[in-house]
Structures are given as structure tokens and as C-alpha cells.
Amino acid sequence: MVHSENQESKSLKSEILGIIAPSFPAFLDELHCKYKNLGDGAIADYIPELSKVNPDLFSICVATVDGEVYQVGDFNRLFTIQSMSKVFAYGLALEDHGRDYVLTRVGVEPTGDAFNAIILDEQSKRPYNPMVNAGAIATTSLIKGKGATERLNRMLDMYRRYVGKDVYVDMSVFTSERSTGHRNRAMAHLMLNFGMIDGHIEEALDLYFQQCAVMVSCRDLAVMAAALANKGVNPITGEQAVDSRYVKDILSVMYTCGMYNFAGEWAYKIGIPAKSGVSGGIIAVVPGKMGIAVFSPLLDSRGNSVRGVKVCEELSQKFGLHMFDCRGGSFNFGQNGCN
């Protein structure tokens, strides 16, 4: 059953959602019931700790920019953020160095290749974008700090601003990723060879593995996505999670590169900035309106949550969320070029 925070207000603020309040929770409940028995896909097992998760876990959460949170299923169950962390680490690197410098180290082009492909742009020698592993490692290596501890603390404080509470690293998952991350080490050495990252490879990789092993819930992810929808401001706490000038950079790369080698079809069918992770999460951002999060560990062949993709596709179609849908859907953007 869908739970709504701030039940006394019962407000979705029709100017934000454009629908009658009771119908939206009911629709989330229907979606959850529709797909909870879908057994397609497989759990990620290349990180040994991830293979232990219950495949039946499933939750959907939506957080609006006015602070309402609607949630159904296992919405408080903690899991590791994995590749969804790339979105937020990229924002921190942009804050630390600015977009021009970050662009000299990491590109913004979609690849059409798998997220763990060991490739760089042939001309620039940069990783293609910050949403694939090579680009994320380069991005993480840019995060400032006097030593590993300070850099980790800055990363955790960044998460705190987005989530609204302290988070922690799951040490068993971190250790598992660290001990099996030879492919990521190969990428790091390749980038070191071309001057895309500095010489402290193990320190950069440790921070990357730690950022991926941070524990979050589906609700946390919805609030994090809503902060990006809300000009970088956490809609629950009111704290600025990321400098607003970089939100468009983050969302642009999410839109074109966030769903691995499914990014083009996602943009075509669903049409909102998103990022997936191999733990089974998907975050999606409807600018100015809301953040969406889905958690289900069963993945398709591209590493995206099977149930998550289905849920986001139905939400987009039902409420006209696609950025280029000019028909005036229920979530009328108001400021886009179609209106």
C-alpha cells in the first residue's frame, strides 16, 4: 500500500502534479501490484556481495519539489547506491573544478558500449562520459581533499546534503568490490598513461568503490533526485545539495548517458534524465516537478532494473513526462518549448 508523508496536508499541490491527489498514490499502488511478480532478469553477481540480495525486493518512491514523498513496497530497505553515485560525484567534481576543467578530463558523449568497457576517446584520450566506469573513476579522482580520509568525508557530507541525513559505506560491499575490481584498475592505469588521472590510482579507486558502496533506500534516492529537480535544493531540509549552476550539466549527461547502452531507447521512450545502478535502482528527474526512484534487483542484459524500466515507462506515458511530449500531459511542464 502507498504511504504518503505529511498525511494531514494531503497535498500534492495541483500546480506541481496537475492531478487529483488521491489518484497518484493509487496509480503507484497499481504499478507495484502489476510488476511485483515479474521475474525477468538476473541479480548482478560480478560483485560477490550483490549476489546475496533478495530478488523479490521492489519499491517505488516519488518525491516532489514541495517536499511530498509517496512510496510503496520496500521503500526503507537499504542497498548500495552503486553507479547512481556517478551522478552526485560528478556534481561534486564540477563544484571543485568548474565545467571547463572537468571537460578536459572527462567527456560528455554517449558511447553505445557497456558501462565497464575499457575504452577511451581515440582523439582526446578522455573517457567518454562520467556515467560509465572509466569516466566515473576519472571524476572521482578530481574530488579535492588533503588525503583519503578528508576526501571520503567530503563525499559523505555531499550525500548527507542530498539525502537529509548521514549515510555510511557498507564495508563488506566495499571490500568485495575492491578485491574483484581488476577491470576498473585496468581502466585507471590506461587513463594514467594518457594523463587523465594523477598517480594516486589506489586512493582514487578506493574512493570510487566507497562511493558506490554507500547505503541508501528507495526513499533516499527519490529525495536525491528531487533535489536535482529542485535546482539543487533538498526539498525536505531546504539545504543546497549542489550548486544550482551545475544542475543542467548533471541532468544533460544523465539524459544522454545515464542508462548505459540503453540510453538512446530510454530517451526515445521515456524521455527524462535518469541513472541506473547494478544494485537494482533507477533514479529519474522531472525538472521543476519531482524525483522518481525505483528499486528492484533483477537486471536486464544491459544492467538496468527490469521492473524499474517498466515502472518509469508507464509513469512517463500516463502523466506525459517525456521532455518532448507536446500534447500537454498531466504534469504540464509550463516552461518547455512545447507549450
Give kind and range of the element (H or E) at residue 294: strand 290-295
For range 88-110, the mean pLDDT = 96
State the catalytic residue, choosing from 65, 216, 247, 278.
Answer: 278
- Has 159 been annotated as catalytic? no
Fold of the domain spanning 83-212: Beta-lactamase (3.40.710)
- Has 83 been annotated as catalytic? yes
- Has 278 been annotated as catalytic? yes
What is residue 115's DSSP assignment?
T
11 burial type by CB count under 10 A (0-12 exposed, 13-18 middle, 19+ buried) = middle
Q: What per-residue confidence (pLDDT) applies to 328?
A: 52
- 217-229 tens-digit pLDDT: 999 999 999 999 9
Query: What whole-number distance in Å separates Cα of residue 241 and Cα of residue 223?
Result: 11
Q: What per-residue confidence (pLDDT) applies to 327?
A: 67
Query: What whole-number distance in Å separates Cα of residue 141 and Cα of residue 175?
Result: 19
Is 260 labelled as part of a ligand binding site? Answer: yes
For range 156-164, the mean pLDDT = 98
- Has 46 been annotated as catalytic? no
CB 26: neighbour CB atoms within 10 A?
12
State the catalytic residue, choosing from 4, 65, 72, 86.
Answer: 86
User: With b meaning 16 or more CB within 10 Å and e meaning fewer, what string describes 278-288?
Assistant: bbbbbbbbbbe
- 242-296 tens-digit pLDDT: 999 999 999 999 999 999 889 999 999 999 999 999 999 999 999 999 999 999 9
* Dihedral angle over CA of 16, 20, 25, 31, nearest 10: -90
Q: What per-residue confidence (pLDDT) applies to 22?
A: 59
State the catalytic residue, choosing from 208, 285, 286, 306.
Answer: 208
What is residue 42's DSSP assignment?
B
Is 208 labelled as part of a ligand binding site? Answer: yes
Fold of the domain spanning 3-81+215-319: Beta-lactamase (3.40.710)
Is 278 labelled as part of a ligand binding site? Answer: yes
Give kind and range of the element (H or E) at residue 23: helix 23-35
- Has 70 been annotated as catalytic? no
Is 163 labelled as part of a ligand binding site? Answer: no
pLDDT at 27 over 60: yes
State the catalytic residue, choosing from 4, 62, 69, 83.
Answer: 83
Least confident range from 6-20, 75-89, 211-225: namely 6-20
> Could you give the 3-state DSSP secondary structure of residue 290?
strand
- 283-333 tens-digit pLDDT: 999 999 999 999 999 999 999 999 999 999 999 998 899 999 876 544 443
Q: What per-residue confidence (pLDDT) applies to 8?
A: 39
- Confidence at 47, pLDDT banded by 50, 70, 90: confident
pLDDT at 28 over 50: yes
Backbone angle region of 232, left / alpha / beta, with phi > 0 → left and psi within -120 to 50 → alpha? left
Domain coordinates of the chain in residue numbers?
Answer: 3-81+215-319, 83-212
Helix pair angle (201-212, 133-141), 10° resolution: 110
pLDDT at 19 over 60: no
Average pLDDT over the chain reads 89
Least confident range from 133-137, 178-182, 240-244: namely 178-182
Q: Which three cell numbers stand for residue 257?
A: 548517458
Instruction: With CA atoms as reference, report the closest residue to 297 among 310, 281, 313.
Output: 281
Is 268 labelled as part of a ligand binding site? Answer: no
Q: Which three cell numbers stand for residue 25?
A: 498514490
For range 101-125, the mean pLDDT = 86
